[in-house]
Structure 1
Amino acid sequence: MNQLDQLKKYTKVVIDSGDIQNIKKYKPFDATTNPSLILKAINMKEYSYLVKKSIIYSKKKGGSIKKKINRAVDKIIVSIGVEILKKIPGVISSEVDSRLSFNTQDSIKKAKKIIYMYENEHGIDRSRVLIKLASTWEGIQAAKLLEKENIHCNLTLLFSFAQAKACAESNVFLISPFVGRIYDWYRINYPSIKYNILNDEGVNSVKKIYKYYKKYSYNTIIMGASFRNKNQILSLSGCDCLTISPDLLKELESNNETFTRQLFPTKKIFNKPKNKLSKFEFEILHNKDLMAVEKLSEGIKQFSLDQIALEKIIEKNM
């Protein structure tokens, strides 16, 4: 049995890709997308027709050029999600425009628009869609309200324990701690340290969240993301979910060495803390972590740039 098949015994494996061919090949349960992956996907031949269809769809709806572009981008995101859902049994994560990361109401509005398109234009029930939002305080509050309307959310760009704690207290459906990006930050800022899997801060951050969630029996699902190597993945075997790039899925599939499951739910459950983080407490705790502050800002900026690049492609074709 290869390592990918072994991993699937302990953890739900999710593919971090918009490439239909890779999804068909690795047969993941769920799939995740983001603006970077959508941007990459629309340059593939198999998706070129979706760009044309999205532009035609948007033009028929009318409105200003800006509205047409925004509508076409939303349609592409949803259309790619629909195509992926045809190949998997589980859910697709579709991301809200990162430029809305600090605006709760606009994030909610965009999320509902995406869900409306899935349900009313493609017949896909909302239970098969996760709305991806950045783990800012405003994003977490948007998710808290969306969850009450049975719109499940995937809180992404999660780097600090403050973000994880606030998500659990807001009954967010799923979080995506970014293992590799945390690892990158420490390697760049502390280059003299010899890093291994034991002092990998990205891996250890997910382990800390996992232990905390299981200790207090929070329902929020933990999905480790953004891996740099196979050992990071195997060190988190037993985590609720892991979203993995096609390159690392291939590496796992080609290795038949056995490994030992690393994460197990705690046997003793405690009552949840009564005091929830306020916005002030969240900001204080989050901002104590320089890595988290820098990586969250960087992630929002990069996804925003990819969103803009996507809009420019639509505008050019329109």
Structure 2
Amino acid sequence: MAEDLLTQLKGMSTVVADTGDIDAIRRFEPTDATTNPSLILQAAQHEGRRERLAEIARQATDIDDALDAVAVEIGSEISSLVPGYVSTEVSARLSFDTDATLNRARSLIERYDRHGIGPERILIKVAATWEGIRAARQLEREGIRTNLTLLFSFVQAQACADAGVTLISPFVGRILDWYRAEWPDADFSGDNDPGVKSVKKIYEHYKGHGYGTIVMGASFRNTGEIIALAGCDRLTISPTLLEELAETCQPLERRLSPSGAETSPPEPLDEAEFRWAHNEDAMATAKLAEGIRRFTDDQRKLEKLLGELREGRG
């Protein structure tokens, strides 16, 4: 009888938990873990954290200080459970401000250092805007590793590779969402899934040109998307889908395999080329803007919660 899909997948791709749920991380034993404002909000609302969050909120100098303190607190707890990277996100409000992103990223690394966690364990997540990618280039030069998120277009991936970022997170499910809304009667199953096609194209481009940037498929809507990308460098998966994979026993075929570089990398993109190519992709333009808004909305909810706790009303 075949092993369960999760066990087989771990032999082909590095499995990453897309959650701030400590219990889920303990159960599924991923190599890495990723968080974002939405996941931090979910983790912060756990009743068992309320007292500690109130303490953090009262000690913070302001709400931004409290937000970062909470993110690092949860990230530090996660780091004790995974052997690899923990991703922590810079505020989505800073997605179009390179200097502010740099300052916030350095501050997060300093906070982790005070928890005894070195920069080699942390990936700073930054939205893959032009400004975010410029910030990531500088952070990588400083020895701070980055995870470029909210990535929907091929040109975003190109620019991230040019910048030498450690890892990118192309979003599979959110791409599928857009195409389903536009063409509700189309067949987007299996290899027809536009999110799967996007990650495959990026993966093949990176391997074919010898880029060292890690490709980590993210934002999955179903296990079919994960199966179609078996072999991708990394796959970050929600607890619900991890459980489904763990409970399914069937053969798993490797779909992506690294190969040696075939050609030299193309010339780096300049800002005008990047902005024009991204603008030409209606899906990517819409989903990047929407993603920044959604993360900011959840950040506002977390700010409200911490503000109430700070004032003793939570």
TM-score, with structure 2 as normaliser: 0.96
Partner of 2:43: 41
Q: How far off its partner does 1:267 sit?
A: 4.1
Cα deviation, 1:236-269, whole Å, max 9, x if unaligned, reads: 0010000000000000000110121000113453
Partner of 1:281: 273
Residue 248 (structure 1) aligned with residue 241 (structure 2): yes
Matches within 5 A, 1:50-89: 50-58=52-60, 62=61, 68-89=62-83
Partner of 1:176: 169
Q: Is the 8 A contact 2:98 2:131 kept in 1?
A: yes
Could you say what secondary structure the match of 2:195 adopts?
A: helix
- 2:156 pairs, out of 156, 159, 163, with 163
Cα deviation, 1:65-112, whole Å, max 9, x if unaligned, reads: xxx111111100000000111111111100000010000000000001
Q: How far off its partner does 1:131 sit?
A: 0.4
Q: Is the 8 A contact 1:50 1:76 kept in 2?
A: no
Residue 315 (structure 1) aligned with residue 307 (structure 2): yes
**Stretches of structure 2 lacking an aligned partner (at least 5 in a row):** none
Residue 211 (structure 1) aligned with residue 198 (structure 2): no
Q: How far off its partner does 1:49 sit?
A: 3.3
Partner of 2:110: 116
**Stretches of structure 1 lacking an aligned partner (at least 5 in a row):** 63-67
31-40 or 191-200, larger mean C-alpha shift: 191-200
For residues 145 and 249 of structure 2, the distance between their equivalents in structure 1, rounded to whole angstroms, comes to: 36
Partner of 1:11: 13
Partner of 1:65: none
Q: Is the 8 A contact 2:124 2:146 kept in 1?
A: yes
For residues 35 and 253 of structure 2, the distance between their equivalents in structure 1, rounded to whole angstroms, comes to: 29
Could you say what secondary structure the match of 2:252 adopts?
A: coil
Which 4+ runs in 1 deviate beyond 3 A? none
Q: Is the 8 A contact 1:13 1:29 kept in 2?
A: yes
Q: Is the 8 A contact 1:50 1:79 kept in 2?
A: no
- 2:86 pairs, out of 85, 92, 107, with 92
Cα deviation, 1:188-211, whole Å, max 9, x if unaligned, reads: 011121221121100000000000
For residues 269 and 50 of structure 1, the distance between their equivalents in structure 2, rounded to whole angstroms, comes to: 53
Cα deviation, 1:250-296, whole Å, max 9, x if unaligned, reads: 000001101210001134532222x2100000011111100000000
For residues 15 and 159 of structure 2, the distance between their equivalents in structure 1, rounded to whole angstroms, comes to: 25
Partner of 1:194: 187
State the superposition RMSD in angstroms: 0.9
Q: Which amino acid aligns with 1:251?
A: E
For residues 241 and 8 of structure 2, the distance between their equivalents in structure 1, rounded to whole angstroms, comes to: 14
Q: Is the 8 A contact 2:188 2:194 kept in 1?
A: no
For residues 208 and 100 of structure 1, the distance between their equivalents in structure 2, rounded to whole angstroms, comes to: 29
Q: Which amino acid aligns with 1:219?
A: G
For residues 115 and 49 of structure 1, the distance between their equivalents in structure 2, rounded to whole angstroms, comes to: 25
Residue 294 (structure 1) aligned with residue 296 (structure 2): no
For residues 187 and 158 of structure 2, the distance between their equivalents in structure 1, rounded to whole angstroms, comes to: 30
Q: Which amino acid aligns with 1:227?
A: F
For residues 259 and 228 of structure 1, the distance between their equivalents in structure 2, rounded to whole angstroms, comes to: 18
Aligned length: 308
For residues 269 and 48 of structure 1, the distance between their equivalents in structure 2, rounded to whole angstroms, comes to: 54
For residues 242 and 269 of structure 2, the distance between their equivalents in structure 1, rounded to whole angstroms, comes to: 37
Partner of 1:237: 230
Cα deviation, 1:104-132, whole Å, max 9, x if unaligned, reads: 0000000011111001x211101101000
Partner of 1:270: 263
For residues 220 and 195 of structure 1, the distance between their equivalents in structure 2, rounded to whole angstroms, comes to: 28
- Report the identity percentage: 49
- 2:142 pairs, out of 149, 168, 172, with 149
Q: Which amino acid aligns with 2:4?
A: N
For residues 83 and 268 of structure 1, the distance between their equivalents in structure 2, rounded to whole angstroms, comes to: 38
For residues 281 and 288 of structure 1, the distance between their equivalents in structure 2, rounded to whole angstroms, comes to: 11
Q: Which amino acid aligns with 1:82?
A: S
Q: Is the 8 A contact 1:78 1:118 kept in 2?
A: yes
Could you say what secondary structure the match of 2:190 adopts?
A: coil
